[in-house]
């Protein structure tokens, strides 16, 4: 029994061995060039998609005023440090708001001890400002000591915009002056610190915004595939317009490259949302290339199995015809 190749196999053999003016083997070189072009296209898509991940610096917990973080810790001692920023939005908002008064105290003491003037107050040489050790210290919040540790003055510190709250404090401790935020300075009952309650609220809110970001929100903030997708679609559309590819090739290119860009962007945004920082860029590139290679290998395996089944069916048909000839 002789095995004769099908006409389709003969055409493939002529295409890749010798066809017209094309020297033997050149068709394989052309196929290799197409392979290199596809690889360059893949690398370009992955690089552009990774570079378009919106990476921002200076918006994490490490960039918040350390005094604010200390105020959060001191007013919420039951919270372990590693769990500060694992709270949900409402709980974190409440925790930071309770720290506003303590933050004001830390700011006043820090500025005084650095030689700055806070409202009408400034320290004499050798003096230092010391906060009360207990958060429930009655009467005073800050004392000014001289170089020998003797107390020069006691002060109450109040971060509020309520004059009624100031009056209540003075009724309880009329002999201790109050240094307060600017909103109640016009009452004539307090020393104006030059710091406003509005300023403190804004700084606290800035701290909340920096640390109280859910994983999904952070991901969406840095996931922006529209620009690379639009650029890719314009490029492929131009190739279709000038006749360098068919409509079927255009659709296939859009599907293949869009998938590659979206996955690369998603990997980069996910790594950044997980506090990966600038590591998100190489992670996106590596992840995009691995994904692209996996997809190509899967497509190649699917195509191989599909053609294997076709070849098997053709071979069985060929054998069946040969058997009929012999019997006939």
SS3 156: strand
The pLDDT value given to residue 163: 92
pLDDT digits over 194-248, tens only? 999 888 888 877 766 665 555 455 555 666 677 777 877 887 788 888 888 788 8
Dihedral Cα 78, 82, 85, 90, nearest 10 deg: -20
d(CA 180, CA 197): 9
Rounded distance, CA 220 to CA 20, Å? Answer: 56
Q: Three-class SS of residue 134?
A: coil
User: Going along 167-283, which residue ranges are E strands?
Assistant: 177-180, 191-192
State how far the Cα of 212 lies from the Cα of 191, in Å rounded to an integer: 34
Mean pLDDT of the chain: 75
pLDDT at 92: 64
pLDDT score for 170:
92
16-51 pLDDT per residue, tens: 555 455 555 555 455 555 555 556 666 666 666 666
Tokens of 48: 């552009």
The b-or-e profile of 239-259 (16+ CB within 10 A means b, else e) is ebeeeebeeeebeebbebbbe
Residues of the chain with pLDDT under 70: 1-63, 77-97, 207-224, 271-281, 283-284, 287-288, 292, 295-297, 299-300, 303, 328
Please give the distance of CA 202 from its chain centroid, rounded to a whole number.
23
Domain chopping of the chain, boundaries: 7-53+223-327, 61-212
Backbone angles phi, psi at 131, to 5 degrees: -80, 155
pLDDT of residue 107: 93
Closest CA to 61 of 292, 288, 218: 218
Task: Give the CA dihedral 27, 33, 34, 37, nearest 10 degrees.
Answer: -170
């Amino acid at each position: 029994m002789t095995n004769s190749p099908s006409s389709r196999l003969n055409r493939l053999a002529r295409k890749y061995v010798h066809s017209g003016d094309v020297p033997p083997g050149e068709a394989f070189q052309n196929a290799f060039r197409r392979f290199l072009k596809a690889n360059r296209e893949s690398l370009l898509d992955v690089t552009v998609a990774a570079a378009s991940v919106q990476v921002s610096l200076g918006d994490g917990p490490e960039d918040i005023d350390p005094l604010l973080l200390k105020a959060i810790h001191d007013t919420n001692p039951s919270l372990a440090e590693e769990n500060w920023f694992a709270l949900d939005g409402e709980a974190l908002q409440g925790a930071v708001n309770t720290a506003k008064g303590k933050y004001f105290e830390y700011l006043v003491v820090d500025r005084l001890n650095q030689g700055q003037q806070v409202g009408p107050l400034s320290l004499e040489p050798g003096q230092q400002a010391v906060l009360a050790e207990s958060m429930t210290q009655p009467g005073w919040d800050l004392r000014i000591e001289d170089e020998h540790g003797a107390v020069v003055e006691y002060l109450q510190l109040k971060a509020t915009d309520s004059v009624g709250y100031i009056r209540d404090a003075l009724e309880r401790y009329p002999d201790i002056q109050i240094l307060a935020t600017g909103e109640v300075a016009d009452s004539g009952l307090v020393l104006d610190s030059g710091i406003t309650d509005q300023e403190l609220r804004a700084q606290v809110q800035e701290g909340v915004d920096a640390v109280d970001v859910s994983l999904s929100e952070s991901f969406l903030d840095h996931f922006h595939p529209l620009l690379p997708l639009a650029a890719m679609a314009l490029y492929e559309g131009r190739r279709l317009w000038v006749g360098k590819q068919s409509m079927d090739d255009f659709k296939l290119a859009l599907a293949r490259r869009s998938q590659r860009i979206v996955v690369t962007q998603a990997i980069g945004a996910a790594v950044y949302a997980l506090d990966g920082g600038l590591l998100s860029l190489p992670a996106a590139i590596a992840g995009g290339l691995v994904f692209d290679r996996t997809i190509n290998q899967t497509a190649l395996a699917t195509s191989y199995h599909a053609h294997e089944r076709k070849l098997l069916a053709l071979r069985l048909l060929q054998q069946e015809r040969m058997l009929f000839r012999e019997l006939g």
